[in-house]
Amino acid sequence: MGKMRKEAISIIVGSDGPTSVFVAGKTGKQSVKMRIKNAIYRRKQKKAKKRIHPGSHTLEEVLEYAKEHYDITEISTTQRRYEEQKKCWKEGVIWKYKPELLGELRDIEHPDTSDKKAMDAFLEKVRQRSKVVEEIPDCEIAMDFHIYEIKYQGGTIEIAVDYHWEMFDISYRGNKKRMKTLGKIAQELYLYYGVTQEDIERRTVRYSKLLLSLSV
Q: What is the pLDDT of residues 143-172, one digit of tens each?
A: 999 999 999 888 999 999 999 999 999 999
What are residue 11's DSSP bridge partners?
A: 22
What is the chain's Cα-based Rg? 20
What is the reported pLDDT for 118?
87
Q: What pLDDT does residue 26 have?
A: 46
Q: Can you give the pLDDT at residue 16?
A: 55
- pLDDT bin (cut points 50, 70, 90) of residue 7 is very low
What is the separation of C-alpha 149 from the centre of its chain, rounded to a whole number of angstroms?
16
Who's near 11: CB < 8 A, 6+ residues apart? 20, 21, 22, 110, 113
Q: Is the pLDDT of residue 27 over 60?
A: no
23 torsion bin: left (phi>0), alpha (psi -120 to 50), beta (else): beta
Which pLDDT score, from 0 to 100, does residue 161 have? 96
Per-residue model confidence as pLDDT tens digits over 37-90:
778 888 888 898 999 999 999 999 999 999 999 999 999 999 999 999 999 899
Q: How far is residue 168's CA from residue 159's CA, in Å, rounded to a whole number?
A: 7
pLDDT at 24 over 80: no
Q: What is the pLDDT of residues 179-197, one digit of tens each?
A: 989 999 999 999 999 999 9
Nearest to 57 by CA among 154, 215, 156, 196: 196
Cβ count within 10 A of residue 213? 19
